[in-house]
């Protein structure tokens, strides 16, 4: 007997499957057969090259998907939360056996549901050709959006990449705060560096700059991303202050030397004329 998936996770997983064009009865059948596993913070769900015979659905917690290649820096590919799928990206070796393309690690205490690829294939076999075409089209759209996201990301400066990542975190995992959005989960600077392809010192510098520009507030070890409305109000306020300062009349002590200089030039001219006479 399977342990039950939480109602929230069930709803999100069902919505994800429906968005891919799968009929509700098929989605229900797919979700009925699973195995629940719990991972403590820091535990590995799978590593690159391990058998890709199951797909993982996050039920609770946050899982980070990473890319590790010999001779290159570790890259944090994505953060997966409740209702997200991981372990679906794979590659085939020369024998046709499929292996995991990335690795995954529990960023927080997490619970995941495992679905075998065999079970998924059996559910898909029961669908009509028209539905399968819709699912294939939806999967193509999904992968296209992923490709476009990373192509755009590579063209950004490190500053823009960090701003982009923090906004994504705010949208997906943030909690509303009177000052903006509290960013969750708590990420170390090393992890942010892995997300933008940079170093920890550079991330520290960029976070300091964002704080100085009023885009970010540090609250202990956490960060609050200022909402665009409040940030815009702050920018407009600073612009008004700068405009007011620029329009203010110059102090008298600054204009005095110019008056003295004109008087001095007039005195020298008069003296020279008298001497010529």
Decide if pLDDT at 71 tops 80.
Answer: yes
Q: What is the pLDDT of residues 101-137, one digit of tens each?
A: 999 999 999 999 999 999 999 999 999 999 999 999 9
Decide if pLDDT at 276 tops 90.
Answer: no
CATH of domain 7-154: 2.60.120.10
Q: Which CATH number fits domain 158-230: 3.10.520.10, 1.10.10.10, 3.40.50.620, 3.40.50.2000?
A: 1.10.10.10
Reading the block at residue 113, the tokens are 């549901």
The residue-averaged pLDDT of 183-205 equals 95
The residue-averaged pLDDT of 82-107 equals 93
One fold for both 7-154 and 158-230?
A: no
């Amino acid at each position: 007997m399977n342990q039950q998936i939480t109602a929230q996770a069930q709803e999100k997983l069902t919505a994800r499957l429906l968005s891919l064009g799968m009929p509700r009865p098929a989605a229900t059948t797919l979700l009925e057969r699973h195995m629940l596993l719990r991972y403590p913070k820091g535990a590995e769900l799978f590593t690159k090259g391990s058998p890709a015979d199951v797909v993982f659905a996050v039920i609770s917690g946050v899982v980070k998907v990473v890319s590790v290649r010999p001779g290159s820096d570790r890259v944090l590919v994505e953060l997966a939360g409740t209702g997200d799928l991981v372990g679906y990206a794979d590659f085939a070796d020369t024998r046709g056996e499929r292996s995991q393309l990335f690795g995954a690690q529990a960023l927080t205490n997490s619970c995941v549901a495992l679905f075998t690829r065999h079970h998924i294939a059996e559910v898909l076999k029961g669908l009509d050709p028209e539905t399968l075409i819709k699912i294939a089209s939806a999967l193509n759209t999904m992968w296209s959006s992923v490709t476009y996201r990373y192509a755009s990301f590579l063209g950004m400066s490190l500053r823009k990449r960090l701003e982009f990542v923090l906004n994504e975190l705010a949208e997906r995992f943030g909690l509303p705060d009177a000052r903006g959005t509290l960013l969750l989960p708590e990420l170390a600077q090393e992890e942010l560096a892995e997300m933008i392809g940079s170093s920890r010192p550079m991330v520290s510098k960029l976070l300091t700059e964002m704080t100085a520009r009023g885009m970010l507030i540090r609250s202990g070890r956490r960060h609050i991303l200022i909402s665009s409305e409040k940030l815009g109000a702050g920018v407009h306020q600073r612009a008004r202050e700068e405009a007011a300062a620029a329009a203010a009349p110059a102090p008298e002590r600054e204009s005095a030397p110019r008056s003295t200089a004109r008087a001095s030039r007039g005195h020298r001219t008069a003296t020279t004329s008298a001497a010529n006479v």
